[in-house]
Structure 1
Amino acid sequence: MPENKAVIYEGPGKVEVESTEYPSFELKEGPGVNPLNVGRKTPHGVILKVAATNICGSDQHMVRGRTTAPQGLALGHEITGEVVEVGRDVEFIKEGDLVSVPFNIACGRCRNCKEGKTGVCLNVNPDRPGSAYGYVDMGGWTGGQADYVLVPYADWNLLKFPDKERALDKILDLTMLSDIFPTGFHGCVSAGVGPGSTVYIAGAGPVGLSAATSAFLLGAAVVIVGDLNQDRLAQARSFGCETVDVSQADPKDQIEQILGVPEVDCAVDAVGFEARGHGREAQTERPATVLNTVMDVTRAGGAVGIPGLYVTGDPGAADEAAREGSLSLRIGLGWAKSLSFATGQCPVMRYHRQLMMAILHDRVQIAKNVNATVLPLEDAPRGYADFDKGAARKFVLDPHGIVRAHMPQPRQPA
């Protein structure tokens, strides 16, 4: 049986790459595993050899100690891999297939799954609707920042790439299909982005940059990205975005300088609950700031997409209300402007096939836009540390060297 290693959360600010058990077709007791899931059989699953697995901002929330994640949790919900074992009940996925794994685990059988709401599947997490790999309070399905990982309900969950060799040539782009590209796209679709739209995206991290990429793909006329990290703002400008530095002034004033009016058609919150203030409060945590700002800058009758993560338990919050997810929102402003809101996990299956086709047919360069940077699995602690410092990069872990083997080689001097 092959050796397996995984990225393990060892407490606030610390992750380690450790030897761990090779996956089996049964959920076993372990850190974060819901007791009601222990012993659950998964003959409908497959085991993947992980080709690429990414570090996500949602992982970073846990590593910072801003959730109730238990020590010893195996991390990672952005997974692309090759099928190496197939459960007895799997009919259509075969050994050797190269696949993308939606970060939402979904059964395909419940009411929500049948309605396309795969982010809130009713059958995979005994505590509440919705589940994900390697994430706190999500049922305890083992994370995919590892050499090998189990994926349940494989025929339903997996997106098979139609041409394996062609997919390997674009593996760095395709690995973004497991989460951030569909998540950014979902934020824009929820906000009503379309041809000719003006769009404000709060946050220039990987999800924000994915949302900006998606806005252009959907036909936006102007995409404005707000952040206080200069390197991330420069990355947004590298593919045509306008930018506002929220540490300097209110975004509304800067939006007016760009558009001539202080409002946009659509807005996306790609920051979430660790938001900071604007202007003089830019270094102070203000968890409701972004939500209130996107309401303020969106025109009356517009919509706001909120793919940024908000939690029900934040032990590191500045006040008691925020520790349980209660924020000081200007809901009266949103009501007065007749704004629409969409929140929650992106239902990845709703978008990933279409986005795969856009990648395979060279309609989008998502890896370039998010500055994808490849690391071996053993360098995951360095990737987490650099990401925490605000690196303008999307770190992609490459456990078996598959991504590096298929990256374009630099030209040699004549």
Structure 2
Amino acid sequence: MRNLAVSYAGPGKVEVVDTPYPEFVLKDGPGVNPANVGRKVDHGVILRTIATNICGSDQHMVRGRTTAPEGLVLGHEITGEVIEVGRDVEFVKVGDVVSVPFNISCGRCRNCKERKTGICLNVNPDRPGSAYGYVDMGGWVGGQAEYVLVPYADWNVLKFPDREQAMEKILDLAMLSDIFPTGFHGAVGAGVGVGSTVYVAGAGPVGLAAATAAQLLGASAVIVGDLNPDRLAQARSFGCETIDVSLGDPAEQIEQLLGAPEVDCGIDAVGFEARGHGGDSATEAPATVLNGLMDVTRAGGSLGIPGLYVTGDPGAVDEAAKVGSLSLRFGLGFSKSHVFVTGQCPVMMYNRGLMEAILADKVSIAKNVGATTISLQDAPRGYAEFDEGAAQKFVLDPHGLIGG
């Protein structure tokens, strides 16, 4: 059976290619860890993909800023319908419509049993943690495809309670695989609660999801900073205050909004390709956001860091940054007794509660992040427009099941 998929074709390029239909075994291919080749996946299911999203994390690879090999099938944000179940699957059934956490976990190891599913010990032979279609994550095939294999299905998938209701809200529910839980994790890590003042660095989809999460958690003021006027306008569209960091460091602009240059909670939704502030905004400076957050977060506050940082960046600005070593003002964070919460979001910690909030009309995450449906064949255009700074979250619709 045909299985069209989106593949990394070298720096700045993606292409739609014909790939093998999934089987209940992990086969060799671009990015697959040799120790995983031949791994049986009788505990898995095969999905017909309903929605699979383009993520900023994918863009890091497509820009050539990781060690991802050419030919890697992309995509870790997956929502789909179960069409085949493996021999050992007990509870998930054909016809179920499900959300798939981007981080693959086994449900059996110590970390999974502690709900630390972003650092599962059994799915990646190289290090804790795994994801679909991502560099150095074990080689599980990506989900920007017509069909995808999901391992440990009884544990991993989140079943929507009603198919018809799910399809009515599918664009919102499609955000449960990554960016909504990831943004929420950033807000929780930053200690957002009722009455909090919050600064979110970055108005891309994860930053907008973090801002939405901060509102859901009861923040009194949510300020979003970015260089992109369209993305800042998107943040304002659902009630956020905004600052343009190309005009200078955030502290002065935050003081104009709040009467004080500090906030209770800081969230980094930018990651390792950060640029400088003010006159340096055209220059990459990977520690800018982290140092800026330490500056504007009050003593005793917390920093949630869902923005991606990597251990290998061949396009970095210096040799230290190529291995993830950044010039942090850690002494500042120490002197202010900051808490830093980093790492992959453990999606399963949040996705069920956020699903219920969506189904109960308590939040409109798709609208807030500018969700825009395109065909799988249009993926190269979506990647290009997203890379140019479009204030949109592109959702691929491989089978025309979403429409609009």
Is the shorter-chain TM-score for this pair beyond 0.5, marking a shared fold?
yes
Cross-structure match for 2:329? 330
Task: Deviation per CA, 1:133-192: give whole Å up to 9, x if none.
Answer: 000000000000000000000000000000111001000000000000000000000110
1:134 partnered with 2:122: no
1:106-145 alignment runs, 5 A limit = 106-145=105-144
1:73-92 alignment runs, 5 A limit = 73-92=72-91
Cross-structure match for 1:24? 23
Cross-structure match for 2:154? 155
Cross-structure match for 2:64? 65
1:377 partnered with 2:404: no
- Tell me the SS of whatever aligns to 2:225: strand
Cross-structure match for 1:411? none
Cross-structure match for 2:98? 99
Moved over 6 A (4+): none
For residues 30 and 273 of structure 1, the distance between their equivalents in structure 2, rounded to whole angstroms, comes to 28
Cross-structure match for 2:13? 14
Deviation at 1:210, TM superposition (A): 0.1
1:8-407 alignment runs, 5 A limit = 8-404=7-403
Where does structure 1 lack aligned partners over 5 or more consecutive residues?
Answer: 408-414
Task: Deviation per CA, 1:87-129: give whole Å up to 9, x if none.
Answer: 0100000000000000000000000000000000000000000
For residues 370 and 304 of structure 2, the distance between their equivalents in structure 1, rounded to whole angstroms, comes to 23
- Tell me the SS of whatever aligns to 1:99: strand
For residues 184 and 282 of structure 1, the distance between their equivalents in structure 2, rounded to whole angstroms, comes to 24
Number of residues of Structure 1 aligned to a counterpart in Structure 2? 404
For residues 52 and 17 of structure 2, the distance between their equivalents in structure 1, rounded to whole angstroms, comes to 16
For residues 264 and 403 of structure 1, the distance between their equivalents in structure 2, rounded to whole angstroms, comes to 40
For residues 307 and 68 of structure 1, the distance between their equivalents in structure 2, rounded to whole angstroms, comes to 21
Deviation at 1:254, TM superposition (A): 0.2
- Tell me the SS of whatever aligns to 1:95: coil
For residues 4 and 268 of structure 1, the distance between their equivalents in structure 2, rounded to whole angstroms, comes to 38
Q: TM-score, normalised by structure 2?
A: 1.00
Calculate the aligned-residue CA RMSD, in Å: 0.4
- Tell me the SS of whatever aligns to 1:286: coil
| Letter aligned with residue 277 of structure 1 | G
Deviation at 1:403, TM superposition (A): 1.1
For residues 6 and 249 of structure 2, the distance between their equivalents in structure 1, rounded to whole angstroms, comes to 39
| Letter aligned with residue 11 of structure 2 | P
| Letter aligned with residue 368 of structure 2 | N
- Tell me the SS of whatever aligns to 2:307: coil
For residues 321 and 341 of structure 1, the distance between their equivalents in structure 2, rounded to whole angstroms, comes to 21
For residues 19 and 338 of structure 1, the distance between their equivalents in structure 2, rounded to whole angstroms, comes to 52
| Letter aligned with residue 373 of structure 2 | V
For residues 293 and 164 of structure 2, the distance between their equivalents in structure 1, rounded to whole angstroms, comes to 42
Deviation at 1:249, TM superposition (A): 1.3
Where does structure 2 lack aligned partners over 5 or more consecutive residues?
Answer: none
Task: Deviation per CA, 1:303-343: give whole Å up to 9, x if none.
Answer: 00000000000000010000000000000000000000000
For residues 234 and 190 of structure 2, the distance between their equivalents in structure 1, rounded to whole angstroms, comes to 23
For residues 102 and 238 of structure 1, the distance between their equivalents in structure 2, rounded to whole angstroms, comes to 28
Q: TM-score, normalised by structure 1?
A: 0.97
| Letter aligned with residue 252 of structure 1 | A
For residues 2 and 356 of structure 2, the distance between their equivalents in structure 1, rounded to whole angstroms, comes to 34
For residues 119 and 249 of structure 1, the distance between their equivalents in structure 2, rounded to whole angstroms, comes to 35
For residues 4 and 356 of structure 1, the distance between their equivalents in structure 2, rounded to whole angstroms, comes to 29
- Tell me the SS of whatever aligns to 1:22: coil
For residues 343 and 5 of structure 1, the distance between their equivalents in structure 2, rounded to whole angstroms, comes to 34
For residues 13 and 288 of structure 2, the distance between their equivalents in structure 1, rounded to whole angstroms, comes to 28
Deviation at 1:382, TM superposition (A): 0.1
Task: Deviation per CA, 1:328-381: give whole Å up to 9, x if none.
Answer: 000000000000000000000000000000000000000000000000000000
- Tell me the SS of whatever aligns to 1:295: helix
